Chain A
Amino acid sequence: MTSKEQTTSNKGATSMQNSQPELEFEPVQTKGTVTIQEQSGIVIVTINDPGKKVNTLNSKLMPEFAEVFNFVEVRPNIKAMILISGKKDCFVAGADIEELAACKSAEEASHLSQSGQEMLSKLEALKIPVIAAIEGSCLGGGLELALACSYRIAVDSKKTQIGLPEVMLGLLPGAGGTQRLPRLIGLEEALSLILTGASCNAKKALKLGIVDTVIASSNLLPAALKIANDLASGALKVTRGRHDIKSTIVSSFAGRSLILSQARKMIMAKTKGLYPAPLAILDVIGYGLANGMAKGLAKEATEFGRLSQTNQSKALISIYFAQTELKKNPYGNKQLAHQTIGVLGAGLMGAGIGLVSIQKGYNVRLKDLSEASLAQGEKYIWSELDSQIKRKKLNTIEAKAVFSKLYSQTNWDLFTKCDLLIEAVFEDLELKKRVLREAEAACRPDMVFASNTSALPIAEIASASSRPEQVLGMHYFSPVHKMPLLEIIRTDKTSNDALAMAVSVGQRQGKTVIVVNDGPGFYTTRILVPFMDEAALLALEGIDFHYLDKVMIAFGYPVGPITLMDEVGLDVSQHITHDLGKIFGKRFCGSDTSVLSEFAEKKALGRKAGRGFYLYGNKNKGPFAGLLGRKAKVINPDALAIMQKYGKSSSKIKVEAEDIQIRTTYRLLNEAAYCLQDQVLLKPQDGDIGAIFGLGFPPFLGGPFRYMDTIGVAKVVDALKQFELTFGERFRPCELLQEMALKNSKFYPKG
């Protein structure tokens, strides 16, 4: 041991005593992230990445683990090893994504995977029992590390999350996860975990067989030591694997093939084949089970490398980084002084905002005009909490404690402690101005007033305020508790303090928050309108609604545009299209707004009215709807008639699926660029996140801006110009795009 190592050793001793005060061990040897200690023949390897919040599996660890292996090798007295984290809420949170993103080629990434595999294979090959002592997140590379151990013990707490989420980044578990997990818990369960990327808690992991024991207390080390001793002495023997008929069938060649082919079908149905990672996962797992671990690992590394260089994975990783970036609050740290949020309007939006607020510990004062409306809001909120009880996410008392944060009332009496008031009243400018004036008269002077609106101009609402610096927009998406995005709108008067407060509330509510400048339709609504407009035009051209929806889903949208219009509500669409059309002219109103008015006349306002483009409700399903399986939506004959009345062509014309996809999507892309040009958007990242999390823009494309970079801005401009010639000025590319095309520049110059 060199003298330098000696010093680090002492440092390690101090930090060790801090993290584990209840036990005193002599640290024998330490290195950057990993501390090695030995006590009575048991070596304790503590992972604690200095200066980082979480531990990650990265290339720094490899040489340190090599030291661990050497340490064990030269000490024949060592009978067992424990892997434990020095961080309270994190075992190992996954692989280092930045390191991966830095890989410039498939080979480079493959190599990264291989070196991880090698390290874990060496760990697995150790002659002594190795116990993974897990508390907190044990995800991705963290779980792969644990899987290479011979025994896993996990703390049963809410913090413990176990899973392989690589698929969500367009990747596969590249450190043996695809090989070890199916061998440990069976093909079916392993597929369901790896393909969904879902994580499970300690109890579920025990049930699945991922961990061998759970412990209720977080005093993990003594328990791990006992297990290490018992395993070493033979007092504890590990028997794994089920030996029932089902598992025998599953592990047979025929059983395996059946499961794999079923899984493939399911993936194709879900992803339309747009995501390469799930299919690669299937291949790698199937190959490994058929050809053995070594070959399986080799294929895993190759496929990992290949996937890492796909556009899909790059897009998904960029979203991950952007999201991480958006967890910061650049506007300051102004917080709510009384932790109390007022919500006006107990409708779907208001109740939803109330729900996500009380769930995060805010007091909520919900106000509406009548007790009957409040009752609906209370019902909506309780039913969601109740479903969390049923899903065992909360127990009854916990749910009631959350529910107790809500207080409903018809007057302004108890709003004196409201730091932030979010109005979610009907989308009517005058009404919103009126409630703002009422609120300012009734509430505290330092209260921030937020308008939840999808398109009404915030500056106009703020004009009714005596303190416009405290007015902003908070555009939530419905259903609020499920939709991840919050679009915050600032006017040129909005103060940073007000913004800081709104952003911190949104983030605590669990939302990914983007801040945009005020402008007609803000960002998300503004890019959605031309998209839907184009879909309406296509329908007017005589294209079947189902077909339109189908090709757009095939492109990667979660729902088709015709269904989306029904969901949004045709009255709302008309309102917004009309308002934005007045401002942006032809670029927005390709379709005739009188078409939408005709829908209103026929009371076909979308899903909420039971009829829109399609018919909704049980009565339209027919007697055998249940038996026929997936019910096809029935087209509203009125809608068809309207299309034919206003349609430029009454006969069905053939439009290629790709043309439909491009026409609708490119109008969205062009408008997104306009938003950047008009400085509604502060940066392309916000635009990408907003489109993906607010509108369901296909995530694997990385958002409008990344997608344009992928295609090449010049190509986008060319296509738009072509369309402009055919269809008119609504396709004219914005100046920013034209400029960028000339300069051949990118939205993300650094990639």
Chain B
Amino acid sequence: MDQNNANDPVIVEGVRTPFMRSNKIYEDIPSYELGRMALSGLAAKTGIDLNLIEHVVMGTVIHDPVTSNIARESLLAAGYPAHIPAHTVSLACISSNVAATQIADMIRLKRIDIAVVGGTDTCSDPPIRVSRQLRKGLVRLSKVKKLGDLVTQWPFLRTLRFSDLSLDVPKVVEFSNGKSMGQGGDLLAQSVGITRKESDEFAARSHQLAVKAQKEGFFKGMIIPAYLPPRFEPVLADDGPRADTTAEGLAKLKPAFDKNFGVNTAGSSSFLTDGASAVLLMSRSKAKELGYQPKAVIRDYIFRAGDALSEMLSGPALTIPLLLQKNNLTASDIGVWEIHEAFSAQVLANIRLIETPSFLKTRLGLDKTVGKIDLEKVNVWGGSLSLGHPFGATGGRLIATAAARLVHEGQRYAIVSGCAAGGHGSAILLENV
């Protein structure tokens, strides 16, 4: 592990569009356009000869059927050469973590030397469908070419009712059990015992840290300014972080999901966000050859899933201990933590689970503990609670931020982790170069 291999996958540069609350400034910007902005921004930022890029993988969650391979459409719109293959991956909120780790393996296996990973999502324009009955009717009608066809289809068509004109709006719920993320978050907080006060404090912390990072210009090199038609007002920063968010203020909010015992409120949940991210990965040798100074190496990673209901949001706890143990590390070896903040209580619950020997033993089969996560090292430039969470793009943001923090803080190791629908978790180990 100490030896540096020529084919180590390294992070050269990571960028993102400003992350903006849904149905605001990006309301009319399609997801592939956000992806385009991130990809073209990365190209400009790095000045890389685009012909050298060998693969592009992007994550997305909300799939618009007209751009089903959104990585490809984003790539073409960004003016990348057509010979670069591009594919889209989807693993809910850790989609771009999948993109990054797949490419990291491809680089390590010497299949490729240069690739771009990232993700894009918009919640401003979800693919709302008409009701199943009406869809069925419309499809059958489209096949009617002559009067006889109409006669054949008539028995079905006459069963259509006025009520079939209803709409089928996608919801953020688990398909397998019908429970929402918020309900899952409340369940987790209750089972681990996170209090409302702890939850509000962590949410307020996220905002304060994000505002501080904005002020100190930590995102300057990472955010690609957006100039959007038709008015082209420059969009230069995320609109999520609120300087006036305090734990006291948040305490006044009503629980958003479990009205009686829930800790999660609108203020301590990540909100619907639009945005995209893009990260340039290379082999160590290629970066050196092209004269780039990499920020970090992608050392190792792990994906794992648990129960889709009770462990809907336990991804970090399911993966971080295993990753640490596998690499002979403890939590205290990690100088930089970037953990996706789905809900305030969810982050705290995961951190607590990682410290809990019975959890490690029963769920992961670990006899030894892996240490405690120092909260001072977690998400110190803000997190999804404040910066926003454009599902497929968040992993790209976390990886870029972790790499930037490694450089900025002079740390050796970073772990990027997140939970995802279906009970998934991901943890990625980065090391400075």
> A residues engaging B (CB < 8 A)?
338, 340, 363, 365, 371-372, 374-376, 378-379, 382, 386, 396-397, 400-402, 404-405, 407-409, 414, 416-417
**From residue A738, how far is it (CB to closest CB) to chain B in Å?**
56
Chain A positions within 8 Å of B84 at CB level: none
A172 to B41, CA, bound (A): 51
Given A371-B225, A382-B232, A400-B36, are A405 and B79 also a contact pair (CB < 8 Å)? yes
**Is the C-beta of B113 less than 8 angstroms from some C-beta in chain A?**
no
- CB contact between A408 and one of B76, B77, B227 (< 8 Å): that residue: B227
Chain A positions within 8 Å of B79 at CB level: 400-402, 404-405
Closest 6 CB pairs of A and B: A407-B44, A401-B79, A404-B40, A379-B232, A371-B234, A378-B227
Chain B positions within 8 Å of A409 at CB level: 225
**A376, B232: Cβ atoms under 8 Å?**
yes
Sample (17) of A-B pairs whose CB atoms are under 8 Å apart: A371-B225, A371-B234, A372-B234, A374-B227, A375-B227, A375-B232, A375-B234, A378-B232, A382-B227, A386-B229, A400-B33, A400-B79, A404-B77, A404-B79, A405-B79, A408-B227, A414-B44
- CB contact between B47 and one of A400, A402, A416 (< 8 Å): that residue: A416
**B232, A397: Cβ atoms under 8 Å?**
no
**From residue B408, how far is it (CB to closest CB) to chain A in Å?**
17
Chain B positions within 8 Å of A414 at CB level: 44-45, 47
**Is the C-beta of B233 less than 8 angstroms from some C-beta in chain A?**
yes
**From residue A396, how far is it (CB to closest CB) to chain B in Å?**
8
Provide the B152-191 mask, 1 if CB < 8 A to any CB of A, else 0: 0000000000000000000000000000000000000000
**From residue A403, how far is it (CB to closest CB) to chain B in Å?**
8
**A371, B236: Cβ atoms under 8 Å?**
yes
Provide the B10-34 mask, 1 if CB < 8 A to any CB of A, else 0: 0000000000000000000000010
**Is the C-beta of B73 less than 8 angstroms from some C-beta in chain A?**
yes
Chain B positions within 8 Å of A375 at CB level: 227, 232-234
Provide the B182-210 mask, 1 if CB < 8 A to any CB of A, else 0: 00000000000000000000000000000
A365 to B46, CA, bound (A): 13
Provide the B67-81 mask, 1 if CB < 8 A to any CB of A, else 0: 000000100111100
**A401, B76: Cβ atoms under 8 Å?**
yes
**B77, A401: Cβ atoms under 8 Å?**
yes
A407 to B226, CA, bound (A): 10
Chain B positions within 8 Å of A374 at CB level: 225, 227, 234
Chain B positions within 8 Å of A372 at CB level: 234
Chain A positions within 8 Å of B39 at CB level: 404
Chain B positions within 8 Å of A402 at CB level: 79
Given A372-B234, A386-B229, A404-B36, are A397 and B77 also a contact pair (CB < 8 Å)? yes
**From residue B49, how far is it (CB to closest CB) to chain A in Å?**
8
**From residue A439, how far is it (CB to closest CB) to chain B in Å?**
17
**A382, B47: Cβ atoms under 8 Å?**
no
**Is the C-beta of B107 less than 8 angstroms from some C-beta in chain A?**
no
Given A401-B77, A401-B78, A407-B40, are A417 and B47 also a contact pair (CB < 8 Å)? yes
**Is the C-beta of B43 less than 8 angstroms from some C-beta in chain A?**
yes
**From residue B66, how far is it (CB to closest CB) to chain A in Å?**
12
A340 to B76, CA, bound (A): 20
A289 to B233, CA, bound (A): 58
- CB contact between B229 and one of A363, A365, A376, A382 (< 8 Å): that residue: A382
A-B contact count (CB 8 A): 60
**B47, A338: Cβ atoms under 8 Å?**
yes
> B residues engaging A (CB < 8 A)?
33, 36, 39-41, 43-45, 47, 73, 76-79, 225, 227, 229, 231-234, 236
Chain A positions within 8 Å of B73 at CB level: 397
Chain B positions within 8 Å of A404 at CB level: 36, 39-40, 43, 77-79
**From residue A390, how far is it (CB to closest CB) to chain B in Å?**
13
Chain A positions within 8 Å of B43 at CB level: 404
A379 to B229, CA, bound (A): 7
**From residue A106, how far is it (CB to closest CB) to chain B in Å?**
53
**From residue B374, how far is it (CB to closest CB) to chain A in Å?**
34
Known interface pairs A374-B234, A375-B227, A401-B76; 4 further A-B residue pairs with C-beta atoms within 8 A, sorted by A's residue number: A397-B73, A401-B79, A404-B78, A417-B47
Chain B positions within 8 Å of A378 at CB level: 227, 232
**From residue B233, how far is it (CB to closest CB) to chain A in Å?**
6
Chain B, residue nearest A407 (CB) = B44
A416 to B45, CA, bound (A): 11
Chain A positions within 8 Å of B232 at CB level: 375-376, 378-379, 382
Chain A positions within 8 Å of B47 at CB level: 338, 340, 414, 416-417
Chain B positions within 8 Å of A376 at CB level: 232
Chain B, residue nearest A411 (CB) = B220
**A400, B44: Cβ atoms under 8 Å?**
no
Chain B positions within 8 Å of A338 at CB level: 47
A408 to B227, CA, bound (A): 9
**From residue A8, how far is it (CB to closest CB) to chain B in Å?**
42
A397 to B75, CA, bound (A): 10
Chain A positions within 8 Å of B36 at CB level: 400, 404
A375 to B236, CA, bound (A): 11
**From residue B115, how far is it (CB to closest CB) to chain A in Å?**
18
**From residue B32, how far is it (CB to closest CB) to chain A in Å?**
9
A414 to B73, CA, bound (A): 26
Chain A positions within 8 Å of B229 at CB level: 379, 382, 386
**A400, B45: Cβ atoms under 8 Å?**
no
Chain A positions within 8 Å of B231 at CB level: 379
**From residue A413, how far is it (CB to closest CB) to chain B in Å?**
8
**From residue B351, how far is it (CB to closest CB) to chain A in Å?**
37
A372 to B236, CA, bound (A): 11
Chain B, residue nearest A371 (CB) = B234
A372 to B231, CA, bound (A): 11
Chain B positions within 8 Å of A396 at CB level: 77
A386 to B232, CA, bound (A): 13
- CB contact between B78 and one of A386, A400, A408 (< 8 Å): that residue: A400
A414 to B403, CA, bound (A): 20
* B39, B73, B225: residue with the most chain A Cβ atoms closer than 10 Å: B225
* B33, B40, B43: residue with the most chain A Cβ atoms closer than 10 Å: B40
**A408, B225: Cβ atoms under 8 Å?**
yes
**From residue A73, how far is it (CB to closest CB) to chain B in Å?**
50
Chain A positions within 8 Å of B233 at CB level: 375
Chain A, residue nearest B229 (CB) = A382
Chain A positions within 8 Å of B227 at CB level: 374-375, 378-379, 382, 408
Chain A, residue nearest B75 (CB) = A401
**From residue B429, how far is it (CB to closest CB) to chain A in Å?**
30
**From residue B392, how far is it (CB to closest CB) to chain A in Å?**
20
Chain B, residue nearest A417 (CB) = B47
**From residue B202, how far is it (CB to closest CB) to chain A in Å?**
33
**From residue A361, how far is it (CB to closest CB) to chain B in Å?**
9
**A397, B234: Cβ atoms under 8 Å?**
no
Chain B, residue nearest A383 (CB) = B229
